Structure 1
Amino acid sequence: MNYKTLGGTGLLVSEFCLGTMTFGGKDFPMSAVMGALDDGAAQKLVDEAIDAGINFFDTANQYGLGESEEILGRALKGKRNEVVLSTKVRFRMGPGINQAGLSRGHILEQAEASLRRLGTDYIDLYQIHGLDPLTDWEETLRALDDLVTSGKVRYIGCSNLQGWQIVKANSISRQLGLRSFHANQSYYSLAGRDIERDIIPVVQDQKMGLLVWSPLAGGFLSGKYSRNTQGGEDDRRTKFDFPPVDREQGYAVIDVLQEIAEERESTVAGIALAWLLQQPAVTSIIVGARRPEQLRDNLRASNVVLSEGEMTRLDEASKLKPEYPLWDPSMYIADRYPVQP
C-alpha cells in the first residue's frame, strides 16, 4: 500500500480508502441497493482493509441515517488511533425543517451526533457533502472553524462542489482567518472525467487532496458490462443507474480496458483503478465492497503500473471533448516562450 499526504496537511493517507456506504441501512432503499451490511460483514471488511494497509475510512451521517457511522465505529473499536476517519454533513437527517443543510445549528448538532455514533472524540476529516444554497458561506465556514478550534475536528473538506465554489469558500476562509478546505471529494473515473475541466486544476492550485468516489462508475467499469453484457439482476447499476454514463463512449473505454486486462492478465476493474492511481492529482480512491474478496480484487490495482502507451490508449478512448475557452490550451502557452533558433 502506498500513502500520500492529504493536501498540505502532512497527514498521510493510504491510496485506497474504504468507503462505508455499504454498511447498514437495510430499511432505506438507497442503502439496501448498496449492500446494507450488518456488523459481522462490516467487521470482516474493516479487518481486511487494515491488514492490507488501508488507514483511511470514509462515511457520512446520511448513510443509513447514521447506521453506517455506528457500524464503522464499532468495527474500529480499539483501532481508532491507527486510522484516519472521515465523515460528512449536509443532507437531511430528520423530518424537521432545519434538519438538513449547512447552517451553524445543523453542522454543530450533526458533528456531535457523528462523534457519538462513531464512538470517538475527534473526526480527522469533516466534509460538507454538497452545496447549501440557503446558507451564507461565512456561517458554514465559521461553524467548521469552531469545530477545529474545539478539537472535535482536525481538518475540513468538501464534496460535490464546482471549482469556483471551492475557490470562493477558501478565499472567504482566508480573508476571515478561518481554516480552509484541505480536501475535495468528487466523482472521477475513466467513464466520467468531467472534473478535469476545472475541479482538478482548482484542487492543484489550492494544494488540496483529491478523494475519488465511484471510481468504477457505479459498477459500469467492474467488468460486468460491455456492448453485449449488461450485468445481472443483483448488480448495483441494474437497480440504481448512477452516476450517469455516456454509454457509447463508455463501451469504447471498456473495449480498451478489456484488451489491456487480457494483455496484463488482470481485470477490467483493476486496470480502471490503476489508471486513476497514476493521475497526479489523485490522493486516495474510495472503494466500497460487500465481501472481502471484492476488496482484495480492487486492491491488487496497487501492483499494476500502466505503461505510457497503455495510458495513451485509455486517454484516447475516454478523453473529454474540448470546450471553450480551452479548445486549444496550448495557444495560451506557446507565445509566452521565446522562439528557439
Structure 2
Amino acid sequence: MNNKLVILIAFFVHSIGFAQTYSGTVLDAKTNQPLPSVTVYFDGTTIGVITDLDGMFNIASKQTINAPLVISYIGYKTQVVAKESLLNNPIIKLQPQTTNLDEVIVTDDDWSREKKLRYFKREFLGRSIYSKDCKITNIDKIRFRYSKVDQTMYAMADEPIIIINKYLGYKVEYNLIDFEIIFEIPASGFTYINKVLYSGTSVFSELSKKNIKKRYIKNRSFVYKTSLLYFMRSLADNSLKENGFRLFKCEDEKQSKPLFETTQSEVFNTKIIDIDKTQVSFLDTKKIVVSFENLDQAFLLPNTTDNVFYIDSFGIHYPIESILFGGAFGQSRIVNMLPSDYNLE
C-alpha cells in the first residue's frame, strides 16, 4: 500500500514538473509603455494568450514543444523568441512598424491586382476543391508586386493575414514573412509556375467556441491521416506501416518512379533521446517515396551531412532544413493546415 502511494506521488510530482509556464512583459520600444492585447503564441499551434493591461502574459504548455514563441501586434514588428528566454520573466520591447504603404518601388509591374490576387489565393490557400471554404477577411491589407525582370510575384503584409477556414473549422492568423511565386516563360511563351516559396508564423483558434461541428471533426481526421504531422508522429513511434504509410526507395533523387517497396527499419533508425525527443537517422541517403493508403504520394530527401534530424512530442521535426519534401507534403497549403497540437491528449 505504501509503495503504491509513493508511486502515485512520484507520478503526480513528475506531471507537475512536466508542465512549463512562460511569462514576460511587452513594452513599446520607444515609449517603454506596456502594450495590452498583444498576441503571444507557440508558432503553428492553438496555444496562445494575449497580454493584459500591464502588457504581461503567462503561457503554459503541458508538453515540451520545439516551436518558437511569437509576439505579434498590429503596427509593430513581429518578434520570434526562443521559449527558454522567457523562463526569467523578461521585458520584451516591440519596435513600431515603419513600412511606408504609399511607397512605389517597382516600374516593371504590368500585372493587375486582380491577376496577382488570383495567383496568391491559389498558391497560399491551396489548389484543393475545399479552398473555396477558406476566406481571407483582410485581403486589402496584402500588397503585391510582380517583377518582369525576375519573373517573380511577391506578397507582403504588415499585419497578420486572417483566414477563416470553414473546411477545418479554424480561424488562422498568419504572419507572412516571405512569399514568392517564381514563374518560367519558355520559348513557347506559355507562363507556368516554377516554384512557390513562402514562410511565416501562425496561430489557430476554433471557429466554434462551444461544440466543434461534426463535419469539422471528420474533415480534420481525413486531412490528418495524410499529413506530415501524422507521418512524423508515426515515424517517431515506429508505426508507419500500422498507420497506413508505405515506403518506397528510388535509385536517385531525380527519379520520379520508385523502384521497390521497403520498410521503416531499412531506411530509418529511430532512437529515443528523452521523453520529448526522438532522434531519426536516414539509413539510405536516396529518395524515399511515401504513399498514404495507396492514394496520395510524397517524397523526402535528407539535407544534412550527418543525415540526422529530431522529432519532438508534438510531431514537429527539426532542424527544419534537415529534410527536403515534395509531392503531397510539399504542396500542403492553408486549407489543409492543422495546428501542431492537433489530436494530442
TM-score interval for Structure 1 and Structure 2 normalised by the shorter chain: under 0.3
Higher relative contact order (CA 8 A, sep 6+): 1
Bigger proportion of residues as helix: 1
Structure possessing the higher radius of gyration over alpha carbons: 2
TM-score, structure 2 normalization:
0.25
